[in-house]
Amino acid sequence: MIAVPRNRASTPRRALPLITSTLGPIFAPLGKVSPSQWAAENLVVPDGPYAGEKFSLALTPYLIEPLDCFADDSPVNKVVIRKSAQTGFTLLAIGAIGHTIDREPCRMMVVQPTDGALSEFNREKLQPAIDQTKTLMTKVKPQTSRSSRGSTQFSKRYPGGSLTLAIATSTADLRSRTVKKVIKDEASEYPEDLDGQGSPHQMIQARYEAFLATQDYKELNISTPVIKGECYIDAEFEAGDQRYWHVPCPGCAEEFVFQFGPNFVYNKEYPHDAHYVAPCCGIVVHYFQKNALVKQGRWIATAEGPGRHRSYHFDALSSPFVPWDVIAARHVEALKDNTKLKAFDNLTLGRAHEIKGDAPDHIRLMALREGYDHRRIPPRGLLLVGAADVQANGIYVEILAIGPERETWVVDALVLDGDTSDPEAGAFAKLAQVYETLWPVTYGQPRRVDAFGVDSGFRANVVYTWCRVRPTTFALKGGDGWTRAPISTPSLVDVDFGGKKIKQGASVWTVGTWALKAQLYADLRKRRVIEGAEVEPPGVCHFGQWLDENYFLQLTAEYLVDEKTRGRLRRVWKERGPNHFLDCRVYNLALADYLGASRMTADEWVQLARYRGVPEGAPLAPPPRPVAPAEPHQQPPPTSRRPPPPRARAARRSSFMD
């Protein structure tokens, strides 16, 4: 049979249905899909127990309403979410990003508090979600693209827009960009002021100013809170309509909120058997009932009013991921230690931690003085630090021993009289003798301080010169603010005593004084064994009988007050008198943190004790003995031992093990 050629003109017509059926859905107009619906249909969870699975709102229905506020057709412009840790709201942010890229492309910005947080967010959450979600994988241009239009590590490009990843500590990141949508993650950790140019939050708001007239901008704020009176997310939540997740009572159907308080009942000893007593009818709600009730819940605004934005609160009591017994166990531990109580407030209850403003009673602290040896390192004092506060006509010094669970002993407290304008004479010459002193110890060989800090707020160049030639010394500078780290990475100072630039200048370390003062005062308020406590609390502070009233007056010389700054109420420290020994103690605590005292495990403390020469099984606390009469402050005798050659800064952290 001879094949008859087909009409060539008929081929395109025959292929048209196939082409249309294949490519039609790609180019067809997309229907309106809410962000929550889009996330449920498309988003793949990047991490956690459900990693690799499709995002399900069945377990987290509380995410639906705030997530849908990010859609273009939502009348809501600003959303604030005050939350505890691990409640799913970071996934909400990723869902909002994915819906925008796929359905409503525009220019967006995500802001994280630090470079490390931004890199982790991109590496652990955002990029894996893009790589595993098909609709995003095909639209977000890969970083490997050689085209200038491809994505980079901190810029995701897609048809119709781009996503910029920024940090709150960079003016370059927060300026000169126009965006329509902004997501601020962990917004309470942003600095209050950025390089003297104002608040990062104000800079971010300026990025969408072009959309204010059309009222189609979006700002999503998500954060765990920090300190009451200093917390951005807490203040923004209070300024909003304050929505809480209400659940129906299984007894009477009245709605209530799971809140930490008298209705949350548990045993102080394990097993805790935590349960909730409904405030309406008193019926007991057991933990196994919680998730079913949360799934039936809804958001209810408790402070509606004109001009109020949407604000949401959600914490671990309602979270489907946190058992109530875990919350009970955390609270039991938090009651023993103020640092754990702050973490419990912030990370479990999603509320700002309120710091007590009154200074400890110095008369009470004097009554707690003990009869241990002056100028001798106690058995449990396995780390030794020293700090100096420089004044015009003298230098105040405290030598502090540190043991496990933040236990401290004052080894010495001195006032070195003399001029402080010369780093080699006067009070600084006496300070050099203190620095070189070998302090006797109950077990092992006498030793010098492991780290020594000097306040550079006064006579800065003199301090830099003095520290530059001495290893294990730190030129310190106090920094205000509640979110500062105990001690930061150093900044180099390349000006010598004479004001000339030098190649290898001293390093200046900024100390987060506010939080350290709060921690110290909380420790000083704790009830001691001598006052009826069963055991000494973590962070207990020991004081020798030889310390006089002036020391305690200075140690308790500050208090907290509420002060309005830039229209916001914040808590700030105020002085009631000289506070030099308080400054010394705060700097000593910062040095202890640098040496790792707050992070060392029990096994590491045991290892350090062996290194120090403490015999295995030896008592680490001296037996009680009669109190000796107080003796006046004296300067420790000089020693002929000269300091070793300066070591690299990187080696300082392990200097006490050298």
- Token readout for 454 is 């000097």
Furthest-apart CA pair in the chain: how many Å? 126
Average pLDDT over residues 178-193: 92
Average pLDDT over residues 359-377: 93
DSSP 8-state symbol, 629 = P
182: Cβ contacts below 8 Å, ≥ 6 apart:
108, 109, 110, 111, 204, 207, 208, 217, 218, 219, 220
Each residue's pLDDT tens digit, 312-345? 999 999 999 999 999 999 999 998 777 788 899 9
Q: If you average pLDDT over every residue of the chain, what do you get?
A: 86
d(C-alpha 556, C-alpha 356), whole Å: 13
If you write DSSP's letter for every residue of 329-367 in order, what string do you get? Answer: HHHHHHTT-HHHHHHIIIIIS--PBPPP-SPP-HHHHHH
d(C-alpha 564, C-alpha 51), whole Å: 45
Q: What is the pTM of this model?
A: 0.73
| Alpha-carbon distance values, 469 to 423, 462, 464, 505 (Å) | 11, 12, 9, 10
Each residue's pLDDT tens digit, 417-437? 999 999 999 999 999 999 999
**Percent of the chain whose predicted confidence (pLDDT) is above 70:** 85
Cis amide leading into 271 (omega within 30): yes
List of domains in the chain = 35-245+300-322 (3.40.50.300), 362-652 (no CATH)
Closest to 582 in 3D by CA, of 520, 511, 510? 520
Banded model confidence at residue 193, pLDDT cuts 50, 70, 90? confident
Each residue's pLDDT tens digit, 629-656? 333 333 333 333 333 333 333 333 333 3
DSSP 8-state symbol, 10 = H
Model confidence at 79: pLDDT above 90: yes
| Alpha-carbon distance values, 558 to 484, 540, 543, 576 (Å) | 19, 20, 19, 6
Each residue's pLDDT tens digit, 127-163? 999 999 999 999 999 876 455 566 777 899 999 999 9
Q: 233: part of which helix (H) or strand (E)?
A: helix 232-239
Output the pLDDT for position 349.
96
CA atoms within 13 A of residue 8's CA, in its CB half-sphere = 0
Output the pLDDT for position 618.
67
d(C-alpha 333, C-alpha 340), whole Å: 7
Model confidence at 506: pLDDT above 80: no
Supply the angle between the helices 460-468 and 426-436 in degrees, to the nearest 10.
40
Each residue's pLDDT tens digit, 558-603? 998 888 766 667 788 999 899 999 999 999 999 999 999 989 998 8
